[in-house]
Structure 1
Amino acid sequence: MEIENRAQAFEDALRRAGVRITRQRAALLRVLAAAEDHPDATQLHQRAMAAGAGVSLATVYRTLSALETQGMIQKLEFEGEPARFEPADGHHHDHMIDVETGEVMEFVNERIERLQAEIAAEMGYEIVRHRLELYVRRRR
């Protein structure tokens, strides 16, 4: 989804939730829609401020909470890191977190997906949803 469409979808979701769309909030939504990484609230606040939004950190947190409640974003809580956020666009992926740099990388691996389904089936279950997080560091 392109940035403007995603920002508009965020805005529409907030309106449905009864949240007023101010100029500052609209700028924050564009910043969030343009994020290609997994920013935390402070990073989003800094980016919005750099874009001239003049938005408060409290507004960032309230906006993120409302978007999460509306199912538009996912809150990612990795060990020892502040919560990060990504669009809930429906495509499944897992995450690798570099323990030294904090970088978060998305990946999809069909072998892992099949193996997880096989393990669940062997135990008499089917997977409803899952999250896989690999904490990694570069080999030396």
Structure 2
Amino acid sequence: MPVKITMEDLKQKLAGPQYKLTPQRKIVLQIFLDRPSQHLSAEDVHFILKEQKCEIGLATVYRSLELLSDLNILNYLDFGDGCRRYELNDASPNEHQHHHLICVECGKVLEFTDDLLGNLEEKIEDTCKFKIVDHQLKFFGYCEDCQKKRELKS
């Protein structure tokens, strides 16, 4: 079950001698807090910043996203289309992330939260002597809207 993340939680993750919650990082994080279920690229974040009249360069956005991903504040996502996307990491510790349903027609991404792979993980761990700590699962297909459009064309 996703947990509600606040800016204060994120400040604590960035607390330490190596990292600071710079004004730029705070603004980038706020974009994800305001859009908790969206999967945003660096270009998406930069576009939102420009709409908000924030003068943060694209290179700064990229660096911020990489750092926040390295710190597990954001999850890096690859949906197979060559575009790196990020989402807020809202899973409780020791809990699996949600899965993604990706429409190959319009690119819409839906989230699926049920974790049905527990038995498979146990079998893999027993058979391969491999301790699984997490997994990602992506399904590619057609969303409901695109299915309807395809039916109308036929």
Counterpart residue number, 1:27: 27
Correspondences of 1:105-124 after superposition (within 5 Å): 105-110=110-115, 112-117=116-121, 119-120=123-124, 123=127
Secondary structure of the 1:48 match is: helix
Deviation at 1:65, TM superposition (A): 1.0
Q: Which consecutive segments of 4 or more residues in structure 1 shift more than 6 A?
A: none
Identify the range of structure 1 (92-101 vs 119-128) with the bigger mean alpha-carbon deviation. 119-128
Q: Which has the larger radius of gyration?
A: 2
Q: Could you say what the CA RMSD is over the residues aligned between the two structures, in angstroms?
A: 2.4
Distance in 2 between residues matched to 1:47 and 1:77, nearest whole Å:
21
**Residues 1:48 and 1:67: Cα distance change in structure 2 (over 3 Å):** same
**Residues 1:20 and 1:114: Cα distance change in structure 2 (over 3 Å):** closer
**Residues 1:58 and 1:11: Cα distance change in structure 2 (over 3 Å):** farther
Unaligned residue ranges in structure 1 (runs of 5+): none
Deviation at 1:18, TM superposition (A): 2.7
Identify the range of structure 1 (81-90 vs 11-20) with the bigger mean alpha-carbon deviation. 11-20
Identify the range of structure 1 (25-34 vs 117-126) with the bigger mean alpha-carbon deviation. 117-126
Correspondences of 1:41-80 after superposition (within 5 Å): 41-80=42-81
**Residues 1:31 and 1:123: Cα distance change in structure 2 (over 3 Å):** same
**Residues 1:122 and 1:57: Cα distance change in structure 2 (over 3 Å):** same
Identity %: 25
Counterpart residue number, 1:134: 139
The higher relative CO (CA closer than 8 Å, separation ≥ 6) is in 2
Deviation at 1:59, TM superposition (A): 0.8
Count of equivalent residues: 135
Deviation at 1:97, TM superposition (A): 0.8
**Residues 1:71 and 1:118: Cα distance change in structure 2 (over 3 Å):** closer
Deviation at 1:70, TM superposition (A): 1.3
- Judge conservation of contact 1:73–1:86 (CA < 8 Å) in 2: yes
TM-score w.r.t. structure 2 length? Answer: 0.73
Secondary structure of the 1:31 match is: helix
Distance in 2 between residues matched to 1:20 and 1:127, nearest whole Å:
32
